[in-house]
Amino acid sequence: MKTHYYLGWFNNFFPENLARVLQEDIADRKSLVMISSNPSVFEDDGATERSWLDQAGITFDEYHLINYRVQKEDAQTILQNASGIFLLGGSILNLNRFLKEYELSDSIKKSSAVVMGASAGAINMSAKWLCSKNFGDDVEMSSVYDGIGLDNFSVLSHFDLENNMDLVQRELSPLSEEINIYASNKDCAVRVKGDKIDILGNVYLISNSKIQKLDETL
């Protein structure tokens, strides 16, 4: 059963209920593969995300970081042997380009590993996402990008929704007519396990230009 975690950003560590379901879902802990969203920057990349897992008592026998230090062919082999895959936070656009350049998306989709993404990583896991300067992206014109497409919805992750609800609804309304969008702030998670979607924290569903807060189920 495929399991995907679309995470926001955690200032401290995973809350207990999120740590508990992650411990249950990641039964095989041979190899964690982290994919950089800033592949040219090598210092401390993934240290924060790994600390969340460490604090939750989820440790692996091996840790791998895919960035420009890893050859493209080696990256494919590393992914094939992964127990967990973690798409790191950082630059949404850089990660999107890196996934295409290294042709990683198909390998991630085919993998039986638990796939996690934080912030930029979560956004790129989704089917499509809106790139907009109003969301802090370094672009002049808004446009829709294709993500990996692990699930057939869009994600806006780690954005100050509560103070920008009108902006979010206005920006995302056109895309929401085509595909459901899960929007969340920090300390949030959307878990997809098989056909079931679970919610942690303040997560909103935007569908057909209407927005509603979802009940927590984790």
DSSP 118-143: ETHHHHHHEEEEEE-GGGT-S-SS-E
Q: Is 218 among the domain residues?
A: no
DSSP assignment, residue 37?
S
pLDDT at res. 61: 98
Average pLDDT of the residues of the chain: 95
pLDDT at res. 112: 95
Q: Is 117 among the domain residues?
A: yes
Helix (H, G, I), strand (E, B), or coil: what is residue 203? strand
pLDDT at res. 199: 98
Domain that holds residue 70: 3-213
Number of domains in the chain: 1
pLDDT at res. 12: 85
Q: Is 118 among the domain residues?
A: yes
Q: The CATH number of the domain where 40 resides is what?
A: 3.40.50.880
Helix (H, G, I), strand (E, B), or coil: what is residue 61? coil
Q: Is 183 among the domain residues?
A: yes
DSSP assignment, residue 59?
-
Q: Roughly how many angstroms between the first and final C-alpha of the chain, as a whole number?
A: 18
pLDDT at res. 160: 87
Segments of the chain with pLDDT less than 50: none
Q: Is 9 among the domain residues?
A: yes
Contact between 179 and 128 under an 8 Å Cβ cutoff? The reply is: yes
pLDDT at res. 45: 82
pLDDT at res. 99: 98
pLDDT at res. 43: 72
pLDDT at res. 165: 87
Q: Is 59 among the domain residues?
A: yes
pLDDT at res. 98: 98
